[in-house]
Amino acid sequence: APKVECKNPGITEFVGTAIGDTIGLVIANVDPILHSYMKLDPKYRSIGILGARTGAGPHIMAADEAVKATNTEIVAIELARDTKGGAGHGCLIIFGAEEVSDARRAVEVALKELDRTFGDVYANDAGHLELQYTARASLAIQKAFNAPVGKAFGLIVGAPAAIGVLMADTAIKTANVDIVGYASPAGGTSYSNEVILMVTGDSGAVRQSVIAARELGKKLLEAMAGPAPSVTKSYI
Amino acid sequence: APKVECKNPGITEFVGTAIGDTIGLVIANVDPILHSYMKLDPKYRSIGILGARTGAGPHIMAADEAVKATNTEIVAIELARDTKGGAGHGCLIIFGAEEVSDARRAVEVALKELDRTFGDVYANDAGHLELQYTARASLAIQKAFNAPVGKAFGLIVGAPAAIGVLMADTAIKTANVDIVGYASPAGGTSYSNEVILMVTGDSGAVRQSVIAARELGKKLLEAMAGPAPSVTKSYI
Amino acid sequence: APKVECKNPGITEFVGTAIGDTIGLVIANVDPILHSYMKLDPKYRSIGILGARTGAGPHIMAADEAVKATNTEIVAIELARDTKGGAGHGCLIIFGAEEVSDARRAVEVALKELDRTFGDVYANDAGHLELQYTARASLAIQKAFNAPVGKAFGLIVGAPAAIGVLMADTAIKTANVDIVGYASPAGGTSYSNEVILMVTGDSGAVRQSVIAARELGKKLLEAMAGPAPSVTKSYI
């Protein structure tokens, strides 16, 4: 699809757009009845909204930086089966805040992080890989993956799912890391065609395990359909 | 995809096709064992079948007109995660009837309504909006959304889901309407990338709230990826 | 997408690729902790992995031949909502074996079967049909569809789902077969836009019922969007 210059639509609630058909919005004062239908914590009247057609991991990692940097909390993370015909997820992430300025700031930080967090997404016509790494997980990662706060965290995704199985096995054999979670088409995903491994542990070990999975995954995905370059620029 | 002139395939059960890769069919006498596997009410041996790759709201609204106009009942509404790589649903809707002529008539009416009910579907490369309005909901709307029969009903859909959140908040703040339901990627949808609000109330208020959500949604979707025209012609 | 010559990526675990963006892999010794996260039977340390973006039925049928021919067992069959924007499923199938050579052999057999088992997949822009038939079902078919081992088995799939309903009704009326299962967008699928009928019985009757459903389904799908040729070459 052709790139379109994003124009501010002149709406107070609009924050910006980013890669992955991502949009960032805020609401200063969510209608109280809608609020209860959305099952949000009533403590937060102001919300920040980060949503995308393509990507969930990159957005969760970006949101994790946003909650570290602002006075907000992650109140919802929902994964759509999307990626516009691809094998993965889109997302809807909601930040709660007492002040709308905090919610706006969180969305701004997250939108800015996305170029980085898409850096170890690799794709070709057959599928995609996604790798994420942080030396210190915060509350978005905890909310999404049930990973321990303050420790290193790695995310390893392969699609089609068969590739993810081998990446997961390689990751866990490469370094001494602990599994936080494992998801597959029939469990833990929204029926996406992915196998996802989440690991924690010593930061050097987590990083090493993520890199090993990436190198293996790239070879497999490229054996299926040729070059699978980074969507932006690798950061791990 | 290129438009293909629909030719009657010479099958008794064929009724017609319509926008959204929609097909309409009837079965005069469903096999009794299949009938029980389909969990249909045994009262109805004849069924009308309305199915599509793209669209669920437009088909439910069209089916609502069909049940008003014919001696049929809605016996099943199922939403596939589809839209051919888009962010929303496809559908399978089944009418029950005592006579096959009634089932056929219901499917015919529904097929004819679809050009209208796609009128407030707006789409571009980033996503879509869908708005629906009726002054008097009937049994298909009740079955699909649990909305009260005989009252005005409005449907507000935004995709990616983030846009739907803001449309929902705007709809509810614009006029004095009651929320009938709220659906999002992780609840009430088939993992589509949509937020959906269903409202009821005074017909003027419902219409006003739907229009306000539409105007806001269009600005946001167009900020993401340029013009998002109606798929056919706006009716609200 | 352009065809890419598959090159062996120089990885021990790589077995091959096939139609449907399919990849075959083995792991000689699955990491024991990952093994438990994958909920595999601990008896099988070696696994074969067959995964695809497009297709589940063709892969289950191919896996069925593979378990007949090798000393392996089917330990997992998971269906993603995929087909790259199409109406159906992708898959992840795992073979368990005591020896990695057996797992590899099973994956090789399955990869080779796929050209045949895609033979009665028919597709055009509006959707697809899938028909499968075997005179003697084995353990993959039992695992996936709960069909009796050793008896004839037929699979009838139509997408959009409306076509599948009529194909199912025709199949069951054409010959004296028993229904093993019925799946639809809201039940038994991963929200795919398919209706799926599984039948068993006398081999002649099963074959006749599958063929009748195919002929009807082709006419309907072609009425929607023109020619719907076999993806490879019909085998039924």
| pLDDT value for C8 | 80
DSSP-assigned letters across all residues of B165-180: HHHHHHHHHHS--EEE
B43-59: burial string, b at 16+ Cβ within 10 Å, e else: ebbbbbbbbbbbbbbbb
Cross-chain residue pair C13–A166, CB shorter than 8 Å = yes
Would you tell me which residues 42-81 of chain C have a C-beta closer than 8 angstroms to some C-beta of chain B? 81
Closest CA to A40 of A54, B233, A31: A31
Q: Does B14 touch chain A (CB under 8 A)?
A: no
Scanning every residue of chain A, which has its alpha carbon at the shortest distance from the alpha carbon of C37?
A: A182
Angstroms from B74 CA to nearest CA on chain A: 27
Mean pLDDT of B193-215: 98
| pLDDT value for A1 | 42
The residue whose two tokens read 């321990």 is A148
Q: What Rg, from alpha-carbon coordinates, does chain A have?
A: 17
Q: What's the rounded Cα separation, in Å, for the pair B183 and B189?
A: 6
Chains meeting C at 3+ CB pairs closer than 8 A? A, B
Q: What's the rounded Cα separation, in Å, for the pair A130 and A116?
A: 12
Q: Does B161 touch chain A (CB under 8 A)?
A: yes
Q: Does B4 touch chain C (CB under 8 A)?
A: yes
Q: Contact, B136 vs B65, CB < 8 A? A: no
Classify burial at A12, counting beta carbons within 10 Å of its beta carbon; exposed 0-12, middle 13-18, buried 19 or more: exposed
- pLDDT of A118 > 50? The answer is yes
Q: What ipTM was assigned to the predicted interfaces of this complex?
A: 0.95
| pLDDT value for B6 | 55
Q: CA-CA-CA-CA torsion for C158, C23, A1, C2, nearest 10 degrees?
A: -100
| pLDDT value for B7 | 67
For A223, the closest of C6, C92, C191 (CB atoms) is C6
Angle among Cα B229, B231, B235 to the nearest 5 degrees reads: 90
- pLDDT of A180 > 60? The answer is yes
Q: Does A126 touch chain C (CB under 8 A)?
A: yes
Closest CA to A46 of A64, A22, A24, A28: A28
Q: Contact, A55 vs A231, CB < 8 A? A: no
Classify burial at C148, counting beta carbons within 10 Å of its beta carbon; exposed 0-12, middle 13-18, buried 19 or more: middle
| Tokens (6 digits) for C33 | 């902790």
| pLDDT value for A8 | 80
Closest CA to B22 of B2, B48, B50, B47: B50
Cross-chain residue pair A191–C80, CB shorter than 8 Å = yes
| pLDDT value for A42 | 85
Q: What's the rounded Cα separation, in Å, for the pair A141 and C148?
A: 45
Three-state secondary-structure class, residue C90: strand
| pLDDT value for B8 | 80
- pLDDT tens for each residue of A39-67: 998 899 999 999 999 999 999 999 999 99
Cross-chain residue pair C23–A219, CB shorter than 8 Å = no
Lowest mean pLDDT segment, chosen from A157-161, B33-37, C39-43: C39-43
Classify burial at B115, counting beta carbons within 10 Å of its beta carbon; exposed 0-12, middle 13-18, buried 19 or more: middle
Cross-chain residue pair B50–C162, CB shorter than 8 Å = yes
Residues of chain A found within 8 Å of residue B172, distances taken between Cβ atoms: 31, 33-34
Three-state secondary-structure class, residue A27: strand
Q: At a CB cut-off of 8 Å and minimum separation 6, what does C181 contact?
A: B37, C145, C146, C147, C188, C196, C197, C198
| Tokens (6 digits) for A106 | 């969180």
Closest CA to C105 of C116, C95, C114, C115: C95
Q: CA-CA-CA-CA torsion for C174, C179, C181, C186, nearest 10 degrees?
A: 50
- pLDDT of A124 > 60? The answer is yes
Three-state secondary-structure class, residue A104: helix
Q: In what order do the strands lie in the sheet with B22-27?
A: B14-18, B22-27, B46-52, B89-97, B73-81
Residues in chain B: 236
**Rounded percentage of chain C residues whose pLDDT exceeds 70:** 97
Size of interface A-C (CB pairs under 8 A): 131
Cross-chain residue pair B224–A85, CB shorter than 8 Å = no
Q: What's the rounded Cα separation, in Å, for the pair A175 and C172?
A: 55
- pLDDT tens for each residue of A207-222: 999 999 999 999 999 9
- Which residues pair with residue C94 across a beta bridge? C49, C76
Q: Best of B125, B156, B191 to disrupt the A interface by mutation (most A CBs within 10 Å)? A: B191
| Tokens (6 digits) for C227 | 């020619």
First to last CA, chain A: 28
Residues of chain B found within 8 Å of residue C168, distances taken between Cβ atoms: 34
- How many helices (H) and strands (E) in chain B? 6, 10
- pLDDT tens for each residue of C71-90: 999 999 999 999 999 999 99
Q: What's the rounded Cα separation, in Å, for the pair A90 and B88?
A: 12
- pLDDT tens for each residue of B176-196: 999 999 999 999 999 999 999
**Rounded percentage of chain A residues whose pLDDT exceeds 90:** 94
Q: What's the rounded Cα separation, in Å, for the pair B105 and A75?
A: 48
For B53, the closest of C87, C172, C226 (CB atoms) is C87
Q: What is the pTM of this model?
A: 0.96
Compute the half-sphere exposure of residue B21: CA atoms within 13 Å on the CB side of its CA.
30
CA distance readout (Å), A192 to A198, B2, B45: 16, 29, 37
- Which residues pair with residue B85 across a beta bridge? none
- pLDDT tens for each residue of C6-49: 568 989 999 999 999 999 999 999 999 999 999 998 899 999 99
Band (B42; pLDDT cuts 50, 70, 90) = confident
